Amino acid sequence: MKEKRKIGRGVCVIGAGMSKFGMFPDKDSKELFVESFKETVESVDKGFDPNDIDALYLGNFSNDYFVHQGHWAPIIADAIGHTPKPATRTECACAASALAFKEGVFAIASGFYDIVLVGGVEEMSKCNTAEVTEGLAMAAFPSELVAGFTFPGIFGAIGSAYFAKYGCTKEDLFNITIKSHNNAKLNPKAQLPFTIRDMMNQKIAKAKKKGRTVPFWNDEKEFLRDPKANPVVAYPMSLYDCCPISDGASSMILCSEEIARRFTDNPLYVIGIGQGSGGGLQSPTNDNITSLEATRFAAAEAYSMAGLSPKDIQFSEVHDCFSMAEVIDIEDLGFFKHGEAYKAINEGQTKLDGSMPINTSGGLKCKGHPVGATGTGQLHEVWEQLRGEAGERQIPNKDLKIGAAHNLGGTGGTCTFTILERR
Amino acid sequence: MKEKRKIGRGVCVIGAGMSKFGMFPDKDSKELFVESFKETVESVDKGFDPNDIDALYLGNFSNDYFVHQGHWAPIIADAIGHTPKPATRTECACAASALAFKEGVFAIASGFYDIVLVGGVEEMSKCNTAEVTEGLAMAAFPSELVAGFTFPGIFGAIGSAYFAKYGCTKEDLFNITIKSHNNAKLNPKAQLPFTIRDMMNQKIAKAKKKGRTVPFWNDEKEFLRDPKANPVVAYPMSLYDCCPISDGASSMILCSEEIARRFTDNPLYVIGIGQGSGGGLQSPTNDNITSLEATRFAAAEAYSMAGLSPKDIQFSEVHDCFSMAEVIDIEDLGFFKHGEAYKAINEGQTKLDGSMPINTSGGLKCKGHPVGATGTGQLHEVWEQLRGEAGERQIPNKDLKIGAAHNLGGTGGTCTFTILERR
């Protein structure tokens, strides 16, 4: 890697939006993206004419598989009235739209385009759970598939290794689940906008109503400990450690730094971008499955460009497809030392009012994970937090200037890290 | 569109390679790409250390569909020893790797990376013809699929419309087929390296040997006219109007202009890039299916950046998935007026020794069309011609300085145009 990563022309975010995330079997990808696009255009403070968009970058993992239709970039371009201008799809599994964002930054930084729309979409709920699991498994390494792994199994294996190495237990992970649900309850776009306590009380009320034996749980941890309430999916990953199946879209408008203030007095500056790749958990060169080299590489690139270190990041969205992923992400990004993140989580440091808020949106776990929409969806949360527009889940007591998002594809086949700044 | 498209930092091609194109059911995408990669590295005149590559962009249409494996960028990165450095997949149907090339240009022009590997791969022959046809149909617009179109049908419809409008006939298209096969015979990488006359003579010899009635054809046109030898696929597209099903990979090394001559005294300069999108043949705004707006838009962008007009292009690869596509491509790119390309073809202008050689490689029709590998595969031909390395198919009697490649995805959902210069 070069000593210092840099781009020749600064790039800003001037608008951001997203559809609600959830299961919408009666909506297609076009409708979902149009919903996001409209909100994105309306979010531009001083108004925005969509005809000024020079190019579109669209992240999508595999609508090819989920709805048997490919070549989505022009379909979406057509749906938003963007043709004949260029539209390009990016794909690296669950990191698809973080790469749409990165390519949008490059396209502007290169000088070729001035204003670019970036975003992502995925339409998963037309498939059943088994079909989705099989489709997502296409994002793993071939060697992992041959070994019988699906994604819950992969993150289960990572969890077991981490537990053995550092003494973490399932009890520690409960604090991630509880925190993510608490945050999601405050997010109107979230797929699972309820706390674990809400779910617990709802189940108790339902049992009472039906005259069944009322389940007895004193608190959320007892609920999460109960294998009937929270069955094991792939040990140590149980149901409430796993993100749901989702449909959704997200999008942002980027432009060159020199014209950003035409559109808003409060643009966000793209100060760090980074990306790494990896050869899978079973790669002969991988002697440690509790850390992803691709995340570490992506972070190093982004920190290099920003001239920052982990301590300068005030909050971050990270890729928590499973609770275990959140633990290793925040270690690999340098927010906590290896083997210590779970202790910091237990201390409440990653809560909304903690010293290092993580996944204030509810994360993939509770906001939802429409794969191709997740990358720019995470950056949407950074946008709202940095601009003080996160409503009830606004990070308290902090003058927010610098936030980040970490997106992960496959088993660390692709990882990205993006740092935004409010000036 | 801006008055003048430009990039902030010049980009050069310093190496190019490709696997043989063909049907290789015993090879997988990794093996095909490694074959291309090795040739690409070896093509760098003054030597090249692959560790100097900062990032990889990989075009692939849908190995998800063809071999039920996604997330190919890191798989290929791993196969060539590129991890943990970034690897990104681009997709816009058959234009996938032209976009890998374009994103590689942007990544360098932005200043973020200095040396980028771009390329593409597709692994199609594991599927049978019906499966491939169904898979490729995913690249069409949903409205076209609902109407029962597959790609031969789409280009058949374009052909019928063109015939009706301009008086062209199937006889005129024969000259494209004959020319493409003549060129392919001179291309050691081509999938169908034989002339129509070779095929004709082979069939006659085979019939004689088996004691069957010897078919009687006086020349290639009689052969192509015979529905037994050249059956209709989707009128007016017959068998020899259609490209084959292919496996293959292609790749190029790009670097910033300022360091290019460290690697070669004969780099090619990327002087024009352009891309357009389209809403499909049945779009309510499309009143003319004999011309693709996306091609015209892509060409305008590329000519604007290069400061050139069509007459400055000395030769071009164009996207001839079907013979009919070649006709409308070379009109939309401005090489010939609308309705006149077929006359120029009849006059021999597009032959190897003509005034405007088209598809000197044999084109998709005869070199082969491993979808994701086609874009950089076309640019590979431009590389060889401009550097005088095209062997027996070297364009004669011309001081070649400027060549181009046009890549088309779907029904013009995506079109690109790329202009390279030797200085």
The β-bridge partners of A268 are: A13, A422
Q: Is residue B369 annotated as part of the catalytic site, yes or no?
A: yes
Q: A311 Cβ partners below 8 Å, 6+ apart?
A: none
Contact A279 B83 (CB under 8 A): yes
pLDDT computed for residue B145 by the predictor:
83
Chain B contact set for A332 (CB, 8 A): none
Could you tell me if the ipTM is greater than 0.90?
yes
Half-sphere exposure of B292 (CA within 13 A, CB side): 35
Q: Are B334 and B309 a contacting pair, CB within 8 Å?
A: yes
pLDDT computed for residue A365 by the predictor:
98
Smallest Cα distance from B401 to chain A, Å: 24
Q: Is the pLDDT of residue A384 over 80?
A: yes
Smallest Cα distance from B294 to chain A, Å: 6
Question: Confidence class of residue B146 from pLDDT cuts 50, 70 and 90?
Answer: confident
pLDDT computed for residue B323 by the predictor:
98
Measured distance between the N- and C-terminal CA atoms of chain B, rounded to whole angstroms: 28
Please write the tens of the pLDDT for every residue from B304-332: 999 999 999 999 999 999 999 999 999 99
Give the three-state DSSP class for B12.
Answer: strand
User: Looking at chain B, which residue has its C-alpha nearest residue A67?
Assistant: B138
pLDDT computed for residue A1 by the predictor:
56
pLDDT computed for residue A136 by the predictor:
94
Residue of B82, B181, B319, B369 marked catalytic? B369
pLDDT computed for residue A281 by the predictor:
85
Smallest Cα distance from B281 to chain A, Å: 12
DSSP B328-340: HHHHHTTSS-TTT
Closest Cα partner for A295 from A139, A144, A414?
A414
Closest Cα partner for A419 from A341, A308, A267?
A308
Please write the tens of the pLDDT for every residue from B328-339: 999 999 999 999
Please check whether residue A190 lies inside any domain of the structure: no
Contact A74 B111 (CB under 8 A): no
Q: B256 Cβ partners below 8 Å, 6+ apart?
A: B9, B10, B11, B12, B108, B114, B115
Chain B contact set for A6 (CB, 8 A): 111-112
Question: Confidence class of residue A238 from pLDDT cuts 50, 70 and 90?
Answer: very high
pLDDT computed for residue A215 by the predictor:
83
Distance, CA of B277 to CA of B273 (rounded, Å): 14
Residue from A112, A114, A415 to probe the interface with B (highest B Cβ count within 10 Å): A112
Contact A277 B83 (CB under 8 A): yes
Contact B65 A69 (CB under 8 A): no
Contact B279 A305 (CB under 8 A): no
Contact B273 A112 (CB under 8 A): yes
Please check whether residue B120 lies inside any domain of the structure: yes
Smallest Cα distance from A231 to chain B, Å: 29
Contact B64 A62 (CB under 8 A): yes
Mean pLDDT to the nearest integer, B62-77: 96
Distance, CA of B7 to CA of B257 (rounded, Å): 12
B211 phi and psi angles, rounded to 5 deg: 75, 15
Please write the tens of the pLDDT for every residue from A358-367: 999 999 999 9
Contact A70 B139 (CB under 8 A): yes
Question: Confidence class of residue B382 from pLDDT cuts 50, 70 and 90?
Answer: very high
Q: Is residue A181 annotated as part of the catalytic site, yes or no?
A: no
pLDDT computed for residue B143 by the predictor:
86
Of B71, B139, B294, the CB nearest to A71: B139
Query: In the structure encoding, which two tokens stand for residue B423, read together?
Result: 């200085």
Of A86, A140, A301, the CB nearest to B276: A86
Number of structural domains chain B divides into? 1
Q: Is the pLDDT of residue A332 over 90?
A: yes
Residue of A82, A181, A369, A380 marked catalytic? A369
What is the rounded radius of gyration, in angstroms, for the C-alpha atoms of chain A? 20
Chain B contact set for A82 (CB, 8 A): 277
3-class DSSP string for chain A: CCCCCCCCCCEEEEEEEECCCECCCCCCHHHHHHHHHHHHHHCCCCCCCHHHCCEEEEECCCHHHHHCCCCHHHHHHHHCCCCCCCEEEEEECECHHHHHHHHHHHHHHCCCCCEEEEEEEEECCCCCHHHHHHHHHCCCCHHHHHCCCCHHHHHHHHHHHHHHHHCCCHHHHHHHHHHHHHHHCCCCCCCCCCCHHHHHHHHHHHHHHCCCCCCCCCCHHHHHHCCCCCCEEECCEEHHHECCCCEEEEEEEEEEHHHHCCCCCCCEEEEEEEEEECCCCCCCCCCCCCCCHHHHHHHHHHHHHHCCCHHHCCEEECCCCEHHHHHHHHHHCCCCCCCCHHHHHHCCCCCCCCCCCECCCCHHHHHCCCHHHHHHHHHHHHHHHHCCCCHHHCCCCCCCCEEEEEEEECCCCEEEEEEEEEC
What is the rounded radius of gyration, in angstroms, for the C-alpha atoms of chain B? 20
Residue of B12, B82, B92, B94 marked catalytic? B94
Please write the tens of the pLDDT for every residue from A170-217: 999 999 999 999 999 999 999 999 999 999 999 999 999 999 988 889
User: Looking at chain A, which residue has its C-alpha nearest residue B274?
Assistant: A86
pLDDT computed for residue B215 by the predictor:
83
Smallest Cα distance from B139 to chain A, Å: 5
Q: Is the pLDDT of residue B70 over 70?
A: yes
Of A87, A103, A283, the CB nearest to B78: A283
Please check whether residue A306 lies inside any domain of the structure: yes
Contact B73 A5 (CB under 8 A): no
Please write the tens of the pLDDT for every residue from A296-327: 999 999 999 999 999 999 999 999 999 999 99
pLDDT computed for residue B414 by the predictor:
98
Residue of A12, A82, A92, A94 marked catalytic? A94
Q: Is the dihedral of CA A90, A96, A97, A100 positive or negative?
A: negative
Please write the tens of the pLDDT for every residue from A30-49: 999 999 999 999 999 999 99
User: Looking at chain A, which residue has its C-alpha nearest residue B28?
Assistant: A142
Mean pLDDT in chain B?
Answer: 96
Closest Cα partner for A255 from A34, A104, A119, A404?
A104
**Distances, alpha carbon A320 to alpha carbons A358, A414, B326, in Å:** 10, 14, 48
pLDDT computed for residue B364 by the predictor:
98
pLDDT computed for residue B2 by the predictor:
58
Contact B84 A296 (CB under 8 A): yes
Question: Confidence class of residue A5 from pLDDT cuts 50, 70 and 90?
Answer: very high
User: Looking at chain B, which residue has its C-alpha nearest residue A142?
Assistant: B69
Smallest Cα distance from A300 to chain B, Å: 11
Q: A32 Cβ partners below 8 Å, 6+ apart?
A: A19, A24, A121, A123, A247, A248, A249, A370, A373
> In which domain, by residue range, is A365 found?
11-128+244-422
Chain A contact set for B254 (CB, 8 A): none
Question: Confidence class of residue B408 from pLDDT cuts 50, 70 and 90?
Answer: very high
A with B: how many residue pairs have Cβ under 8 Å apart?
245
Please check whether residue B3 lies inside any domain of the structure: no
Contact B70 A61 (CB under 8 A): yes
- What's at A146, amino acid-wise? V
Please check whether residue A157 lies inside any domain of the structure: no
Q: What is the CATH number of the domain that holds A386?
A: 3.40.47.10
pLDDT computed for residue A316 by the predictor:
98
Whole-model pTM over 0.95: yes
pLDDT computed for residue B1 by the predictor:
57
pLDDT computed for residue B149 by the predictor:
86
Whether the link from the prior residue into A236 is cis, omega within 30° of 0, is yes
Please check whether residue B293 lies inside any domain of the structure: yes
Please check whether residue B318 lies inside any domain of the structure: yes
Contact B414 A110 (CB under 8 A): no
Query: In the structure encoding, which two tokens stand for residue A269, read together?
Result: 């500056």
Please write the tens of the pLDDT for every residue from B272-282: 999 999 998 88
Distance, CA of B408 to CA of B35 (rounded, Å): 25
Please check whether residue A224 lies inside any domain of the structure: no
Mean pLDDT to the nearest integer, B54-80: 97
Least confident of A145-159, A181-195, B360-374, B401-415: A145-159
Residue from B9, B76, B83 to probe the interface with A (highest A Cβ count within 10 Å): B83
